[in-house]
Amino acid sequence: MDKDIAIEVKDLTKIYKLYDKPIDRLKDSLGLAGKKKYKEHLALSSVNLTVKKGETVGIIGTNGSGKSTILKIITGVLSPTRGSVSVDGHISALLELGAGFNMEYNGIDNIYLNGMMIGFSEEEIKKRLDSILEFADIGDYVYQPVKTYSSGMFVRLAFAVAINIDPEILIVDEALSVGDVFFQAKCYHKFEEFKKQGKTILFVSHDLSSISKYCDRAVLLNQGVLLGEGTPKKMIDIYKQVLVGQYPLPKGEGENLLDDEEIRQAAAKKAGGAKEPDPEKKSEKGSDKNTPAPKEQMNDNPDLLEYGDGAAKIEEFFVTDNRGIRTNSIIKGTEFTVHMRVRFDRDVAAPIFAFTFKNIMGIEITGTNSMVEKAFLDPVRAGDKKDISFTQKMTLQGGEYLISFGVTGFEKNDFTVYHRLYDALNVTVVSDKNTVGYYDMESRCVVTDATS
């Protein structure tokens, strides 16, 4: 294995045996089952993955896609059916929080127990004890049996042990989404410290914002198959297609995701093809300012991802400023309007029109839709066209943002995507005053002389 690689997974396959009765499992383990009395479940299929030293890699996918299974195999909790795993570096893992804790022991005893299981000596754990207790911050409860802990205290102690033993590789399965908000903030701060120190982090999360913010790369699994790996933004967009059943999944065991160009072509074909510009469309000069602009005039993204079932088509989209003029630059503190024009190619009972702002890291900052705003809940017929506009005040910090558009709805209680355009339009927010974070709360500051 290359010296720059921390984790290398080759052709990893895991098959679980599912038994109808516990007695069948016992008989099979003793070789007394005779004929096969179990069903096989393919949890992972020929997965290949390489994580370089110093990388932060996130694994995403639907429930049952094999995310936790691959982490357990990497950490040695499970054995693979086929394939191999190589690890270079000391691992600390947070898989099932508190796994390995003895519920009868107190917190201190479990700290030593877990530390020794990980491979540290009693003296090494003693040196780290103060930092573990400070991070856990559960007070005198640390001297009580773990079985008396609340779930919050249990989480705090388990995470504190894993995070404070100075591992070279940290592996985490959903642990950052538990505990109170202050504890989560502390965990994410520790994540930042680890990244700055050049440690390797591999974690599973359903929090896509965390994947976007902290990961250098994301891996997408679905039903045990590695669909692809790449930038967090790219993988999250494809994952959202998988969630609504509108990604053309690869056929056959172990096939990987097509390259980016093929993904876009397949998604566009699924959505009914991209609309060609209308050569007879009037140019912006001399046209009504409220008429949607042709796509070539709107600084849109040529590599946008689009998909849908073809019931609707977002034909045009643009932004206007507080004077009603089309623009891609909005002055902070002023009103602006997001526009979209939608054509329907079949009857839809109650379409929902939506837009979302993302930053350049792919983190969704804000957005809304016509259902939330209670603006439109009517049916439409094939051939109808609708102009939709959302007007609001720009309070985002100055910088570059991407707008996504969508037309969705519910059919027989199933969420359905009629057409989506991800990262379709770039908008620049111009500001002479940026505060902290994503938003300006428009605070008013008053300073007066103190009175006795």
CATH number at residue 378: 2.70.50.60
Q: Which residues, in sequence order, are CB contacts of 219 under 8 Å at separation 6+?
A: 49, 57, 58, 59, 60, 226, 228, 229, 235
CATH number at residue 229: 3.40.50.300
In 3D space, the residue among 357, 365, 361, 346 whose CA is nearest the CA of residue 406 turns out to be 357
- pLDDT for 286 equals 36
Domain residues for the domain of 211 are: 5-243
Q: Are residues 208 and 288 in the same domain?
A: no
* Residue 273 belongs to some domain of the structure: no
In 3D space, the residue among 403, 427, 413, 407 whose CA is nearest the CA of residue 332 turns out to be 427
Which alpha helices (DSSP H) does 244-355 contain, by range?
A: 260-270
Q: Are residues 321 and 397 in the same domain?
A: yes
335-344 and 385-393: which strand pairing? antiparallel
* Residue 58 belongs to some domain of the structure: yes
- pLDDT for 180 equals 66
* Residue 29 belongs to some domain of the structure: yes
- pLDDT for 267 equals 34
Q: Are residues 184 and 47 in the same domain?
A: yes
- pLDDT for 287 equals 40
- pLDDT for 285 equals 36
The total domain count for the chain is 2
Q: Are residues 223 and 295 in the same domain?
A: no
* Residue 119 belongs to some domain of the structure: yes
Q: Are residues 177 and 293 in the same domain?
A: no
- pLDDT for 207 equals 80
Which residues, listed in sequence order, are joined to residue 82 by a DSSP beta bridge?
13
Q: Are residues 180 and 286 in the same domain?
A: no
Question: Of the residues 243, 264, 299, which one is the last residue of a structural domain?
Answer: 243
Q: Are residues 423 and 285 in the same domain?
A: yes
Helix (H, G, I), strand (E, B) or coil at 6: strand
Q: Are residues 64 and 184 in the same domain?
A: yes
Question: 22 phi and psi, to 5 degrees?
Answer: -60, -35
* Residue 253 belongs to some domain of the structure: no
* Residue 440 belongs to some domain of the structure: no
Q: Are residues 306 and 162 in the same domain?
A: no
- pLDDT for 237 equals 86
Question: Of the residues 186, 220, 243, which one is the last residue of a structural domain?
Answer: 243
- pLDDT for 246 equals 72
Q: Are residues 79 and 140 in the same domain?
A: yes
CB 172 within 8 A of CB 94: yes
* Residue 33 belongs to some domain of the structure: yes
- pLDDT for 300 equals 67
Ranges of the chain with pLDDT below 70: 33, 96-99, 175-181, 247-300, 452
Q: Are residues 305 and 181 in the same domain?
A: no
Q: Which residues, in sequence order, are CB contacts of 187 under 8 Å at separation 6+?
A: 159, 163, 175, 176, 179
In SS3 terms, 165-177 reads as CCCCEEEEECHHH
* Residue 179 belongs to some domain of the structure: yes
Question: Of the residues 243, 264, 289, which one is the last residue of a structural domain?
Answer: 243
Which alpha helices (DSSP H) does 58-180 contain, by range?
A: 67-75, 107-118, 122-136, 151-163
Q: Are residues 211 and 305 in the same domain?
A: no
